[in-house]
Structure 1
Amino acid sequence: MAKIIPFKAVRPAPEKAAWVTCRSYDEYSPAELAAWLEFNPYSFLHIISPAYQNMQTIAVEKRFQSVKKQYENFKAEEILVTDEAAAFYLYQIKNKKQVFTGIIAGTSILDYQENKIKKHEDTLAFRVELFKDYLHQTHFNTEPVLITYPDNPAIHTWINLKKKSQPFYEFATPNHEIHSLWKIDTQNEIDWLQEYFEEIPNLYIADGHHRSASASALYDQDKHLNNPNLHYFMSFLIAESNVKIYEFNRLIKDLNGLSQNAFLEELKKHFIVIPKEQELWKPTQKGEFGMYLNGKFYALVYQSNTKEKESVLTNLDAQILYDCVLQPILGIEDLRNDERISYLSGKQSIASIMEKVDSGDFKVGFMLYPSDINEIKAIADADLIMPPKSTYIEPKFRSGLVVYEL
């Protein structure tokens, strides 16, 4: 069973929602960040990046204190307001290609620790510790963990019916998205949603492994305090069929001392290598890889030569590329920290890979076929970990839209 709770959210004043909310901080270039901070005094960026305007370099603890102070200032000026009663929230993101709709709720730390909320990615200890300290000092979080639940006709029908009512917020953003938010605060609806999720044996983290791990670490550190909010972390719960999964493509700076011909011969030990010349070719199914090298595209078709039954992990395309190419041929051991490898999300065009290789910054690029939700769930169910940068998953949440206080 999965336990979810409503909570008293802190939100932008309705007339300021479009001005307050922003993309995730790390999605802005320095020039964009500076422009938004100068142009928009209501942006949540003023809270999460309080020292940027003066280009200050400050200690981490002082920066967290500045974040908290700016947050309190926004509340004092009623740019941000606190709901009077606990609620769930229905949130929709609509872009040119897709509509994402999910439920914002508090999810149980104990469910996470007992593996009822399953993971498929590893975490870095220093990042978990850093965000735990951030939560401890600022006492709020505005970045929910993206969690999937099994598709269900009853939930789907309820969501569609709820969306026919007037949203609490509805606004457009410069990246051509329309954001809508409905408050779910009637006791009947709250009870119904809680009862529904109690029948679900497992939920699956799609995005936000570090955030959930940090919330769990904070709970372990501070659970002696009389703060019930510490027992939960904010999540965006979305049906499995409603997430969009992209691949992460790989760019490598050199061929590890091999000539081009020698490299191609090494690839033939595990792949059928098919020249595609100038065709902008990308994989169309699992087990296929695209490659761009020296101005030409290639199709690489994986040929398994193992007689043992492959596990869900060894059959994962990102793992195959690592096991057969990146580690043994190109000498890349650490996918997180090796400076010879970079990543490009599948949202970007193949032309971006061409440009980076043709510029001389990289020697070769690899295109992967995206994983699907069933692969992710199978990895999580087997308590296995996907290679770093295996998936880029949407939707992405707007910072400052809903705040969970600790």
Structure 2
Amino acid sequence: MAKINPFKAVRPTRDKVSLVAARSYQSYTKDQREARLRDNPFSFLHIVNPGYRFDKEVSGKARYGLVKNRYLEFKEEGIFTQDQTSSFYIYRIVNRDGDMFNGIIAAASAEDYENDVIKKHEDTLAFKEIVFKDYLKTVGFNAEPVLLTYPNNDIIDNIITKVQQKRAEFEFTTTYRDTHYLWLVNDIEMVKTIQQQFENIPTIYIADGHHRSASSYLLYKDLKNSNPNHSGEEGYNFFMSYLIPESNLKIYEFNRLVKDLNGLSKEEFLIKLDEYYRIENRGKTPYKPSKAHHFSMYLDGEFYSLYLRKSQYTFETSLEALDAQLLYKTILKPILDIHDLRNDERISYSHGKNDIVEMVNKIDNKTYKVGFGMVPATIEQVKQIANDGLKMPPKSTYVLPKLRSGVTIYEF
């Protein structure tokens, strides 16, 4: 039984939402951030980068207090206002590729995370969880929803469709050419129906935002243990999430780029690959695999197809059948001596939405020596790995949609 609650969102005013909304801080280049901070006083980037006012980089706990101050200033100046009625928020994104995503922004339960009603498929780093937990404890809000996915549900779909027949509370297009829409749902019966439908769903899955959800859970534990009057309904018992049906997700792969061949010559490397793969040189013609357990490789200006020799590798778990894990077990670790996929500086990642152009450019300009591509994981694989209590390697999935920060804010 999944528990979700409506909440009183803090939101930008209608006239400023397009100016406030921001992508995640890390997704901007330094020059892009500088331009937005310089030219747009309403950008949410001013809140998450509070040192800009002082022309200084501020980090650690000193930054957390300044983030809270900037946030309060946005409220005091009327840039943000809080809804008076608890609501669910129907959110639609139409991206520049024509993909449409429809879901519900709600408060998801930290207890559901603890009890594995909300399932995870990626490992998190403990120190990052603690750092972000401390950040949340100071600032007191979520500004970017965790992306959760649930099985398709006709009743929820019908409610979303019905609500979207009315004029949206927000409608704005970003410079990235994505159009965003938001509708409020505070009708008592409609809210009750949505909650009842989720109560009938035994499991929902994290699609994106594992560290954010883990940090929210740690915050819940901290505040629960320090509150002698804990009731289970305090704001810290929940975290802001965007819930979207499984069929509406888009999952892309991440390409792997490696800086060297671990001391091997090209010929020695290909001979080692031959143990596990049938190799075909495709020359200059771009090659992108279309089947699981097939990989593309770009090396010395040429494309290769790699087809797994199934007699050499058996899939004993759902994780071992995942192509990102297969590549790690057969090439990255044994041949290229890459053991730590998160921290080894010899490996980098490029998500498949960028196709293979970025990978080719980085190898041609000698930044990297070899690159590997694969087909995306499926939602069925993601769910099965989560159900089995296993964890994918880092950068196994690049999931759309990506939401903007600052459009709805959940205070706790």
- Give TM-score scaled by structure 2 length: 0.97
1:348-359 equivalent positions in 2, closer than 5 A: 348-359=354-365
SS of the equivalent of 2:89 reads: strand
Partner of 1:363: 369
C-alpha distance 331-134 of structure 1, shift in aligned 2 (>3 A): same
2:363 & 2:126 partners in 1: Cα distance?
Answer: 33
Q: Is 1:9–1:403's contact at 8 Å kept on the other side of the alignment?
A: yes
How many angstroms does 1:306 deviate by? 5.1
1:74 & 1:9 partners in 2: Cα distance?
Answer: 14
1:160 & 1:302 partners in 2: Cα distance?
Answer: 44
1:61 & 1:155 partners in 2: Cα distance?
Answer: 41
1:242 aligns with 2:243: no
Q: Is 1:34–1:53's contact at 8 Å kept on the other side of the alignment?
A: no
Which one of the candidate residues 280, 304, 308 is aligned to 2:310? Answer: 304
Partner of 1:46: 46
1:142 & 1:180 partners in 2: Cα distance?
Answer: 17
Partner of 2:319: 313
SS of the equivalent of 1:219 reads: helix
* C-alpha RMSD of matched pairs (Å): 1.2
Partner of 1:58: 58
Q: Is 1:284–1:369's contact at 8 Å kept on the other side of the alignment?
A: yes
1:290 & 1:73 partners in 2: Cα distance?
Answer: 51
Q: Is 1:357–1:363's contact at 8 Å kept on the other side of the alignment?
A: yes
Q: Is 1:94–1:178's contact at 8 Å kept on the other side of the alignment?
A: yes
Cα deviation 1:175-210 (Å, max 9, x = unaligned)? 111100000011011100000000000000000110
Partner of 1:31: 31
1:218 aligns with 2:219: yes
2:177 & 2:51 partners in 1: Cα distance?
Answer: 29
Q: Give the number of aligned pairs.
A: 406
How many angstroms does 1:59 deviate by? 4.2
Q: Is 2:50–2:58's contact at 8 Å kept on the other side of the alignment?
A: no
Identify unmatched segments of 5+ residues in structure 2.
none
Q: Percent identity?
A: 47
- Give TM-score scaled by structure 1 length: 0.98
1:275-290 equivalent positions in 2, closer than 5 A: 275-290=281-296
1:309 & 1:366 partners in 2: Cα distance?
Answer: 21
How many angstroms does 1:158 deviate by? 2.1
Identify unmatched segments of 5+ residues in structure 1.
none
Where has structure 1 moved over 4 Å in runs of 4 or more? Answer: 306-309
1:386 aligns with 2:392: yes
Partner of 1:7: 7
1:309 & 1:102 partners in 2: Cα distance?
Answer: 35
Q: Which moved more, 1:225-234 or 1:178-187?
A: 225-234
Q: Name the amino acid aligned to 1:123.
A: T
1:76 & 1:209 partners in 2: Cα distance?
Answer: 32
1:16 & 1:58 partners in 2: Cα distance?
Answer: 27
1:6-405 equivalent positions in 2, closer than 5 A: 6-95=6-95, 96-223=97-224, 224-225=226-227, 228-305=234-311, 310-405=316-411
Q: Is 2:120–2:206's contact at 8 Å kept on the other side of the alignment?
A: yes
How many angstroms does 1:305 deviate by? 2.6
Q: Is 1:106–1:235's contact at 8 Å kept on the other side of the alignment?
A: yes
Q: Is 2:297–2:370's contact at 8 Å kept on the other side of the alignment?
A: yes
